[in-house]
Each structure stands twice: as C-alpha cells, then as structure tokens.
Amino acid sequence: IYSYFDCTGGRYDEVCFFGLQYYLKKYLVGQVVTVDKINAAERFFRDHFAHEQFAFDEKTLKLMSNRDGWEYILKQHEGRLPILIKAVPEGTVVSIKEVLLTVENTDPNCFWLTSYLESLLMQMWFPTTVCTQSRAQKNIILKYLRETGTGESSHKFKLHDFGFQEMAGVECSAIGGLGHLVSFSIPDMLSALPLSRDHYSADCASNSIPVSMGAIVKS
C-alpha cells in the first residue's frame, strides 16, 4: 500500500513542512512492537468492544486487535515496523496540493500497516500549521522592515512566542514552539529547546531575555 500526504488548501497558497522527524524518532524508530504492548492492546480491544449490545465473538475480537499481524512483525522484523517513509526536507516551502510525504509498507504481509499509521502521522499538521503561520508573519515583518529602511537583520527577534499557557499539553507546546523557531529566534516556549536538541541536533535553537509576567508585576 502506497499512501501520500498533502495540504489541500487553506489561508495560504504555500505550506512550510515541519515536525515529521520528531514523530518518527519518538514513536516509529527501533523496536516499537513488544509482547507486552501486544498483550496490552488485546486487553484494551476486548474491553472496548465488550458491550453486550454488540456481542462480538472470540474470532472477531482477535481479528480487531490484529494480534497475528503484530506478532508477525515482532517475529519477522524483531518488532521494527516494515515501512518506508519519504518526505520533503523539513522547513521546505511547498505549494498546496503537492505531496509532502509518502508511506509504503516494505513487507507485503503488512499491507495494513500503512493506513494504520495515518492518525499518528497526521499529528504533523500542528507543527506544520504553526511553521506556516510564523513564516507568513515573518514575511509581513520583513516587508515593513524594508519599507521603513530599518534593515532585515533583526527580523528573527521581532515576534516572541509566549504560547505555552494556551497549549493543550507540554508535547504540544514543544513541537509547536519549535515550528515557530524555523522563522524566529526568540521564543519563550522553553519546552521547545530540549526537543530541538534531542530530535534536531540544535545546541541552542533560540535566545531570549529575562522577563516577568504582567500579572506578577501588577500584583
């Protein structure tokens, strides 16, 4: 099975692709299938589909948990996922409706795996959206820096990111903050910095200054 991901459209005619590498390293690299995980998944599926209204038989429950498929990957591939993912380099600006990445199973017995990973890989839309928005804002800033004769060298320090408190979680803040760092160098989303170091080999992805919250100063 050969799948592809693209951006079908939105506010912008171009999209700045970002975030895939984090999800690959975090969730898909190395031995990700183990006996414990297979057992836990099977217990979950049994509980999830156990309502008497549906009354699935044992064969159907086993089929839905796909125990045989995961055990095959564990035995034949030592728990490593037999997939091939190709993508444009992160940070690349791509026109909408052009392919950003492709996913292909490398073992014909694991044809189901390509679509199975779709929900996880779709998580890249959040950092890609942040990255695209920040790039558009950077271009606006550059436009007016040029028009006012201010010079372009300072543009990376013109838009701070204080969004940690509004994020859905720490992981969300980290990958979103890192998407902003593609275009700027002064966020205060500190959660993005360990991620940039551990997953993108960036020793120091940003710079900042000591600041205090307005509410603290007022109180």
The most distant pair of C-alpha atoms in the chain lies apart, rounded to whole Å, by 73
What does the block give as tokens for 158? 């013109």
Tell me the Cα Rg of the chain. 22
**Using CA atoms, how far apart are residues 175 and 192, in angstroms rounded to an integer?**
6
User: Per-residue b/e over 15-49, b at no fewer than 16 CB within 10 Å?
Assistant: bbbbbbebbbeeeeeeeebeeeebeeebeebeeee
Q: What is the pLDDT of residue 45?
A: 82
Q: What is the pLDDT of residue 197?
A: 80
**Residue 124: other Cβ atoms inside 10 A:** 25
Q: What is the pLDDT of residue 190?
A: 76
| pLDDT one-digit tens code per residue, 159-200 | 777 777 777 888 888 888 888 888 887 667 777 777 778 888
Is residue 125 within a helix (H) or strand (E), and if so which, with residue range? helix 125-147
**Using CA atoms, how far apart are residues 89 and 156, in angstroms rounded to an integer?**
21
Q: What's the average pLDDT block by block, 10 residues per block, for the chain (219 residues)?
A: 89 93 93 95 82 71 83 97 96 93 96 93 92 91 86 74 78 85 77 79 68 58
Q: What is the pLDDT of residue 110?
A: 96
Q: What is the pLDDT of residue 30?
A: 94
C-beta of residue 6 within 8 angstroms of C-beta of residue 53? no
Q: What is the pLDDT of residue 75?
A: 97
Q: What is the pLDDT of residue 167?
A: 79
Provide the β-strand partners of residue 113. none
